[in-house]
């Protein structure tokens, strides 16, 4: 059984380049700058999850989700879904920063969430194709 999905709207070349630049930068940030330090047990990442009081299992889960999401941003078919999932993760990070940690860096996940939201919005028509498989 197949369903019809509206074709992806054609984007101008500059818009496509800007979108891919944003996706690559976000993908690298989540893989190298955020997920990998959590997975490798960098002292700062360990301290954050100790301060949260959740135990280190959550650090590993979040690190895996960030690395998977970062990789997903680099795969054309998965980019919209990955961005949407990472937005949800950034909502959780913002809540953790505001209510459980020193609220000094709450704006970082907000900014990342907004940028991811842009990617998710632009690629919103591609998400159903991934989910129906």
69-121 tens-digit pLDDT: 999 999 999 999 999 999 999 999 999 999 888 767 889 999 999 999 999 99
Q: How confident is the model at residue 132 (pLDDT cuts 50, 70, 90)?
A: confident
- Identify whether 9 is part of a domain: no
- pTM: predicted TM-score of the whole model, two decimal places: 0.87
CA-to-CA separations, 2 to 5, 125, 129, 130, 133, in angstroms, rounded: 9, 16, 11, 13, 10
Confidence of residue 5 (pLDDT cuts 50, 70, 90): very low
Q: How far apart are CA 14 and CA 20, in angstroms?
A: 10
Q: Is residue 84 part of a domain?
A: yes
Residue 1 lies in a domain: no
Q: Give the domain range for residue 121.
A: 14-131
User: How many structural domains is the chain composed of?
Assistant: 1
């Amino acid at each position: 059984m197949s369903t019809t999905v509206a074709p992806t709207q054609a984007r101008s070349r500059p818009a496509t380049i800007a979108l891919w630049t944003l996706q690559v930068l976000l993908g690298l940030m989540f893989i190298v700058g955020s997920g990998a330090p959590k997975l490798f047990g960098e002292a700062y990442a360990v301290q954050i999850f100790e301060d949260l009081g959740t135990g280190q299992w959550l650090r590993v889960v979040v690190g895996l989700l960030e690395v998977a999401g970062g990789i997903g941003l680099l795969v054309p078919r998965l980019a919209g879904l990955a961005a949407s999932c990472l937005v949800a993760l950034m909502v959780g990070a913002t809540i953790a920063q505001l209510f459980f940690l020193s609220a000094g860096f709450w704006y970082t996940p907000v900014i990342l969430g907004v940028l991811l939201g842009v990617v998710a919005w632009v690629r919103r028509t591609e998400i159903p194709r991934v989910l129906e498989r």
